[in-house]
Chains A and B, each alone.
Chain A
Amino acid sequence: MTATWIFLRKEALTHWRRGRFLLIGLVFLLFAIESPLMARLTPELLKSMGGSGIHITLPTPTSVDSWTQFYKNIDQLGIFLFAIVWSGAIAAEVRRGTLVPLVTKGLPRYAVVLAKFALAACTWLVTLLASFGLTWAYTAYYFKDALTPHVWAGLWPLALYGLMIIAITLLGSALAKSSFAGFLAVAASVVVMGLGDMWRPLRRFNPLSLTTNALPWVRGTKTLASVAPAFALTVAITAGCLALAIVALNRRRL
């Protein structure tokens, strides 16, 4: 565990010096501010595009629109930012040979995988929580309605889903040589989950349900228990991917 901790600190320093934390933080802040703004401006934009001849009645934006934007941004862009940043996490180190001196000095290989996962997971949880808080504050200020009573209910499943995506990224990176492998692994699994989502009976088990149900949970029209098997499967896939990544790195020539 000491080895993991030391390697984690080295990793954190590297990412800090490359300005990665700042960049991810700024992008997530952009999402947080953009969500309520888009919700407010969309009717105005449509009105101005419609011209004078056509009369369209548009519903007034509500907190539901704001949260819809938020979950769309994080789920379709935010998570992929993590997959991109950590895409070459292991593959690039193996290619450059930077792990060799550390491993020959006694750093266990599992520590590499665990430290990288821990760092990405902490960054994900902190930035997600921060942008959630900001969207929450803006939404409460601009949309004073009671349509979204369970704002927290959509967040935890998304957080868990993100951890799974990070684990898949690291597995891809541990298996292949390319720096893009991690990202490709995520893209492939999202496509598979998307196909699985078309088949109704499978949805209870599909990890993708953790993000697609965010709005019904926030509005209180569905309960978290409705996709309990998907939660279990997501945790299992996360743990499985990490275990496989450790095995893959153990067998790999550095």
Chain B
Amino acid sequence: MDALKDNLPLLIPLVLIDLGLLITALVSIIRHHHFRYGNKVIWLIAIFAIHPFGAIAYLLFGREVQ
């Protein structure tokens, strides 16, 4: 527990950024039906399975350019 408490100043912003990326990607995937590469199911699996790279990859490549 001590290790957790000592590292809180590092963990809190890290978790916030991680969650921010995940939620942004998740909302975007749910709202869209067409993607540049892949489809909804693949991206949903990707953002949860390979976190945070899945979300970063989706935000870079998955989103369709409007």
A residues contacting B by CB (< 8 A) are: 18-19, 23, 26-27, 29-30, 33-34, 36-37, 40-41, 44, 84-85, 138, 141-142
Contact indicator B59/A34 (Cβ below 8 Å): no
Contact indicator A33/B60 (Cβ below 8 Å): no
Picked from A23, A26, A84, A138, the residue with its CB within 8 Å of the CB of B10 is A138
Picked from A18, A23, A27, A37, the residue with its CB within 8 Å of the CB of B7 is A37
Picked from A29, A44, A84, A141, the residue with its CB within 8 Å of the CB of B13 is A29
Residue of A nearest to B18 (CB): A30
A–B pairs, 19, beta carbons within 8 Å: A23-B56, A23-B60, A29-B17, A30-B14, A30-B18, A30-B52, A36-B10, A37-B7, A37-B10, A37-B11, A40-B7, A40-B10, A41-B3, A41-B7, A44-B3, A84-B60, A85-B60, A141-B9, A142-B10
Q: Which residues of A contact B9 (CB under 8 A)?
A: 138, 141
Contact indicator B59/A19 (Cβ below 8 Å): yes
B1-24 vs A, CB cutoff 8 Å, 1 = contact: the mask equals 001001101110110011011000
